């Protein structure tokens, strides 16, 4: 937790919003709770208390001693009092003792001293409450803090019954609802809790908390809590997103919920008193004003950003030649022109696309952003449509086979077009966030929108590939998370929208292909992955090439794959043209036979081993490529029947798209039954080996077993 706001109801003294301090990165909050703060730490904490007071906020200091406290130990009790006295001397007048997420077991001395675990906690809490002078705000978080944790139930829980009976009435008890993260809070369930605790509970609302999933953030409105809850609550605490800029709409709509719910006597229903659509629209309009401001991560208007997520144009800190090259470049390409630029058409231009920070987001883009990152139990309409279309397209991909029904094919292609357009909208949103004038927004939300952009880049490539494939294995039952009748906590299925899209893809269970940290330097360049087309092949010679024939580089590197199995050839392109390619072979054994029968004879005629006019060892060695047998051992092909090659231009700024390109190819191979894939890498190409290793590839052939000089890396699918 970092920031918690309290909306007061029944406690007259809670007439201010409240900041509760209980950060997990403060080791002396939980792990080292016995230790007092150093002079430097004390000064920082005092400054925080004073800052809260100057802004009209009540400051609540929370401590979590439950992991290892010995309740019967007078020494531990003395240390606990010493710690809280130190904080009290800094001006803090409100406190919280948290016993959440700990083991129910007690040590031998505690078992002898107390009748139950609840009795031990209550005894310590009551004594601390007296020690601090019975402050007007003193919170207690029980170990059973939601209905799903209560044994056997809320009304029959011995633990809660003891808390309600023995805890002093001046102490408020924290409650999260039916779950740790509750979709809804009902007056009926809270009335039951109030009866057991003998006081209205104080809701600790985790609706927008996102510290349990690094791929999720919640920008949606405060909802699922009817205004009539007030009759059963002592107050409400909102545990927000870890990212400050992500909390504008949650806090704005919470304020609307509180303000509108205060008005009584109008005879309105909960839905009329608090319309989610109405308050969300109002919050969006106000957020648009905030997003149009040139805020930096330190919230200073127009100040130079201090974070690394800035462009070279705005800071001058990073020249274009300092940008790390893409690791997919093979080692031999660093000594000459890149193979991709020789095989495909791509103009040589300076690297561009780094974030510039000059354009505000449009209202449509902000609405899309909120819809993609809505709430933990609920997607917004844009996310729902994406998932529905992808699920349908995958289940009905057989319709676009050679024997597909014409009407069904038309429906499939219409929905595919809608899905691809939605993916493009997210890519444009990613670029807009990178170029946003509000750099604070970029700093906080970039990792999330970047992750979704990459996941949808792969999903889009998959749908494009399905649309051009003649046949494939049945995909209707592959991947996808299992459905559970009982609603689970949001952290059971990680990743939010990105995770759900991922699980719908053939390689969705391979998290190493999707979960990676974002690049240090964001780029707004738009990328696309699509199947190879014959128009892409525009070979061109090079004055430095050992063989002057314009087709030689293309024929040697990718020619056989493009000629014999183009359906497993994918192209990565940006606004400037092709900037990468990935080619695969589904069955190397059968491919080798076809290659020997048709491709190699044609190449040997095209490139004789000793052509007229060619001289030198380099030229002879290059031409021998088409005149030598290239066999792989059966031990390799048994588990890894497929092969791939991956190339990218050195100008590629965001190397994550190379990972997306490789993932898209792996999906195509797995969708048609491959169980494993391998590739060859030069031993000196450390960057590429590291790149592939992070994606689950391991060295599978070494020593004499290797077919040639290269290192053979493979991974199962």
Instruction: Kindly tell me if the per-residue pLDDT of 69 is higher than 90.
Output: yes
- List all residues 6 or more positions away from 521 whose beta carbon is below 8 Å from its beta carbon: 308, 309, 311, 312, 318, 323, 354, 355, 653
pLDDT tens digits along 296-315: 876 544 443 333 333 322 32
- Distance spanning both ends of the chain, measured CA to CA: 38
C-alpha 228/C-alpha 617 separation (Å) is 87
**In 70-146, where do the E strands start and end?**
94-98, 137-141
DSSP string of 286-319?
HHHHHHTS-B-TT--BTPPP-SS-S-HHHH----
- Residue 401: how many other CB atoms lie within 10 Å: 13
Residue 144, both tokens: 């059973």
Tell me which residues are annotated as active site.
Answer: 101
The DSSP result for 585-642, as a single string, is: ES-HHHHHHHIIIIIHHHHHHHS-SS-TT--SHHHHHHHGGGGS-----HHHHHH--E
The two tokens of residue 326 are 């893409």
CA–CA separation, 350 vs 715, rounded Å? 35
Residue 132 has pLDDT above 90, yes or no: yes
Which pLDDT value is given to residue 313? 29
Residue written as token pair 């919640």: 218
Instruction: Please count the other Cβ atoms lying within 10 Å of the Cβ belonging to residue 606.
Output: 14
Label residue 121 by pLDDT band (50, 70, 90).
very high
Tens digit of pLDDT for each residue in 182-194?
999 999 999 999 9
DSSP letter string, 356-391: ---BPPPHHHHHHHHHHS-BTTB--HHHHHHHHHHH
Cis peptide before 152 (omega within 30 of 0): yes
Tell me the domains of the chain and their CATH numbers. Answer: 1-214 (3.20.20.80), 358-476+489-524 (1.20.58), 526-608+622-652+675-716 (3.40.630.30)
Percent of the chain residues topping a pLDDT of 70: 77
pLDDT tens, 631-659? 788 888 899 999 999 888 877 777 889 99
- The arithmetic mean of pLDDT across residues 28-53, rounded, is 95
Task: Examine the pLDDT at 619 and tell me if it is beyond 70.
Answer: no
Question: Long-range contacts: 309-315, Cβ < 8 Å, 24+?
Answer: 309/355, 309/439, 309/442, 309/443, 309/446, 309/520, 309/521, 309/522, 310/355, 310/357, 310/439, 311/354, 311/355, 311/356, 311/357, 311/521, 312/354, 312/521, 313/354, 313/356, 314/355, 314/356, 314/357
The Cα 504–Cα 507 span in angstroms is 8
- Angstrom distance (rounded) from CA 544 to CA 337: 9
The top-scoring range by mean pLDDT among 228-242, 332-346, 613-627 is: 228-242
Q: Decide if 16 contacts 53 (C-beta within 8 A).
A: no
Supply the pTM of this predicted model: 0.86
């Amino acid at each position: 937790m970092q920031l918690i706001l309290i909306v007061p109801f029944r406690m007259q003294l809670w007439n201010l919003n409240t900041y509760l301090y209980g950060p997990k990165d403060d080791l002396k909050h939980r792990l080292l709770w016995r230790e007092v703060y150093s002079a430097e730490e004390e000064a920082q904490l005092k400054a925080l208390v004073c800052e809260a007071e100057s802004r009209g906020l009540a400051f609540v200091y929370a401590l979590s001693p439950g992991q290892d406290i010995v309740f019967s130990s007078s020494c531990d009790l003395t240390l606990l009092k010493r710690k809280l006295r130190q904080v009290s001397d800094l001006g803090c007048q409100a406190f919280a003792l948290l016993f959440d997420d700990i083991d129910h077991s007690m040590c031998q001395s505690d078992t002898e001293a107390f009748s139950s675990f609840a009795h031990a906690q209550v005894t310590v809490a009551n004594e601390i409450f007296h020690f601090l002078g019975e402050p007007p705000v003193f919170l207690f978080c029980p170990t059973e803090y939601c209905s799903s944790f209560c044994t056997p139930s809320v009304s029959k829980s011995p633990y809660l019954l003891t808390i309600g009976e023995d805890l002093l009435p001046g102490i408020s008890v924290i409650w999260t609802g039916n779950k740790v993260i509750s979709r809804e809070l009902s007056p009926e369930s809270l009335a039951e809790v109030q009866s057991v605790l003998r006081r209205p509970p104080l809701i600790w609302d985790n609706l927008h908390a996102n510290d349990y999933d690094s791929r999720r953030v919640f920008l949606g409105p405060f909802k699922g809590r009817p205004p009539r809850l007030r009759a059963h609550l002592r107050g409400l605490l909102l545990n927000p997103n870890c990212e400050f800029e992500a909390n504008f709409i949650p806090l704005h709509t919470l304020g609307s919920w509180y303000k509108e719910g205060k008005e009584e006597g109008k005879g309105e229903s909960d839905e009329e008193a608090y319309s989610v659509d109405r308050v969300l629209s109002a919050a969006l309009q106000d957020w648009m004003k905030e997003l149009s401001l040139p805020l930096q991560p330190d919230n200073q208007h127009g100040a130079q950003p201090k974070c690394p997520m800035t462009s070279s144009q705005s800071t001058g800190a990073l020249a274009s030649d300092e940008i790390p090259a893409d690791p997919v470049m093979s080692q031999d390409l660093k000594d000459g022109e890149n193979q991709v630029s020789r095989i495909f058409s791509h103009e040589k231009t300076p690297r561009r696309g780094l974030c510039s920070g000059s354009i505000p987001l449009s209202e449509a883009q902000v609405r899309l952003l909120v819809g993609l990152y809505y709430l933990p139990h609920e997607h917004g309409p844009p996310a729902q449509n994406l998932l529905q279309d992808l699920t349908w397209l995958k289940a009905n991909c057989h319709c676009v086979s050679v024997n597909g029904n014409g009407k069904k094919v038309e429906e499939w292609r219409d929905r595919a077009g809608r899905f691809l357009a939605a993916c493009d909208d997210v890519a444009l949103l990613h670029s807009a966030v990178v170029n946003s004038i509000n750099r604070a927004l970029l700093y906080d939300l970039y990792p999330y929108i970047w992750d979704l952009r990459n996941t949808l880049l792969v999903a889009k490539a998959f749908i494009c590939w399905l649309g051009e494939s003649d046949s494939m294995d049945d995909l209707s039952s592959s991947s996808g998370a299992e459905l559970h009748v009982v609603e689970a906590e949001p952290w059971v299925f990680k990743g939010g929208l990105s995770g759900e899209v991922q699980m719908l893809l053939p390689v969705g269970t391979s998290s190493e292909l999707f979960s990676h940290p974002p690049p240090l330097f964001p780029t707004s360049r738009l990328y696309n992955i699509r199947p190879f087309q014959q128009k892409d092949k525009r070979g061109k010679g090079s004055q430095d090439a050992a063989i002057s024939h314009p087709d030689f580089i293309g024929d040697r590197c990718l020619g056989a794959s493009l000629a014999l199995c183009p359906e497993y050839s994918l192209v990565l392109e940006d606004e400037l043209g092709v900037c990468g390619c990935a080619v695969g072979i589904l069955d190397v054994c059968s491919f080798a036979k076809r290659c020997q029968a048709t491709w190699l004879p044609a190449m040997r005629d095209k490139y004789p081993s000793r052509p007229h006019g060619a001289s030198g060892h380099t030229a002879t060695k290059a031409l021998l490529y088409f005149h030598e047998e290239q066999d792989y051992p059966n031990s390799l092909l048994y588990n890894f029947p497929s092969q791939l090659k991956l190339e990218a231009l050195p100008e590629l700024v965001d190397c994550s798209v190379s990972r997306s390109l490789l993932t898209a190819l792996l999906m195509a191979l797995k969708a048609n039954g491959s169980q494993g894939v391998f590739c060859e890498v030069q031993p000196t190409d450390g960057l590429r080996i590291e790149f592939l290793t992070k994606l689950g590839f391991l060295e599978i052939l070494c020593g004499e077993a290797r077919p040639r000089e290269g290192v053979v890396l493979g991974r199962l699918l």
